[in-house]
Amino acid sequence: MSLTDIGYVKRLMAAHGITFQKKFGQNFLINPTVPERIASECGASPEDAILEIGPGIGTMTQYLCEMYEKVVAVEIDRALIPVLAETLADYDNVTVLEGDIMKTDLPALFAEHFAGKNVTVCANLPYYITTPILMLLLESGVPLDNITVMIQKEVADRLAAAPGSADYGAVTASVQYYAAVEKLFNVSAGNFLPAPKVDSAVVRLRLYKDKPVKPESEEMLFRVIRAAFGQRRKTLLNALSAGMGDFTKNELSAAITDAGFDVGIRGERLSTADFAHLSDVLFCMKNEK
């Protein structure tokens, strides 16, 4: 029976005595073309391994198992584990782990399940925790080829935004440090049970093997990005001087000019490479103090 058939999903859940858990962001896909398309466009090759976050009742997991050699799925909701045992019973290439992805030891998981494999993350992420999950995956340093995820449309637009556009922000500049971001397609709320209040979109992050932007200090780069967007309507100079108390306003002004920017520029005009350039000037200045 199809896991996108509403009647079947309701009967399956009733048989297991479970209901949709809002606190876990449970909106399950009910249009089979969507999970099939996400799985096939995730960027992995058939011999690759997939890490799925939040398999739910296994709707997209089934497609992933059909298309790729190995699937490991991490699900926080203990009540769904017996459901997944039933819906994925036909597949011997899947491992379901009960746990919170935010508390999972990713290097250990990779060592145990993904040794020697190329790995892509493919998931319909819970909205309440999208950005923390993405930053965890990117900052963990585990070797990933792609992160292909369905997320709230507004967040997808932010991740894929170009400098100077209204959607461009700290998350954009940070994520684009690690990966090239491509928005694949939009998915309307009617494709989920229950229907969320917002529309969704699928984005693919292709992680750089060799990052094109190489700051002297990653820590300084992220401090500058955070500070630049901390005070959105201010100039870069005023935002930095509010958020980087260890530099005087004169020093920050000199650094912005030294990095080749107009002192009246706004932070949202700087690309990740521009931020790295500015952070290198500040890093140098700090070391010379």
Only segment of 26-34, 155-163, 224-232, 263-271 that touches ligand SAM (CB under 6 A): 26-34
Only one of the segments 8-16, 68-76, 134-142, 222-230 lies at the binding site for ligand SAM (rule: CB under 6 A); that segment is: 68-76
**Residues 9, 12, 13, 24: which binds ligand SAM (CB under 6 A)?**
24
Specify the residue, 60 or 175, whose C-beta has the smaller distance to ligand SAM. Answer: 60
CB 61 within 8 A of CB 52: yes
Place of tokens 């009733």: 14
* Choices 12-20, 27-35, 41-49, 138-146 (CB under 6 A): range interacting with ligand SAM: 27-35
Compare residues 129 and 179 and give the one whose CB is closer to ligand SAM. 129
26 binds ligand SAM (CB under 6 A): yes
Alpha-carbon span 25 to 33, nearest angstrom = 21
By CB under 6 A, tell whether 96 contacts ligand SAM. no
Is 126 a binder of ligand SAM (CB under 6 A)? yes
C-beta of 34 vs 160, nearer to ligand SAM: 34
- Residue 161 touches ligand SAM, criterion: CB under 6 A: no
Q: What is the x/- site pattern for ligand SAM, positions 40-59, by CB under 6 A? A: -------------xxxx--x
Among 76, 137, 156, 181, binds ligand SAM (CB under 6 A): 76
Listed ranges 95-103, 164-172, 203-211, 275-283: which one lies at the site for ligand SAM (CB under 6 A)? 95-103
Please write down the HEC assignment for all residues of the chain. CCCCCHHHHHHHHHHCCCCCCHHHCCCEECCCHHHHHHHHCCCCCCCCEEEEECCCCCHHHHHHHHHCCEEEEEECCHHHHHHHHHHCCCCCCEEEEECCHHHCCHHHHHHHHCCCCCEEEEEECCHHHHHHHHHHHHHCCCCCCEEEEEEEHHHHHHHCCCCCCCCCCHHHHHHHHHEEEEEEEEECHHHEECCCCCCEEEEEEEECCCCCCCCCCHHHHHHHHHHHHHCCCCCHHHHHHHHCCCCCHHHHHHHHHHCCCCCCCCHHHCCHHHHHHHHHHHHHHHHHC
23-31, 158-166, 219-227, 267-275 -> range binding ligand SAM (CB under 6 A): 23-31
Which residue among 42, 88, 101, 252 contacts ligand SAM (CB under 6 A)?
101
Which residues would be at the binding site for ligand SAM (CB under 6 A)?
24-29, 35, 53-56, 59-60, 74-77, 100-102, 124, 126, 129
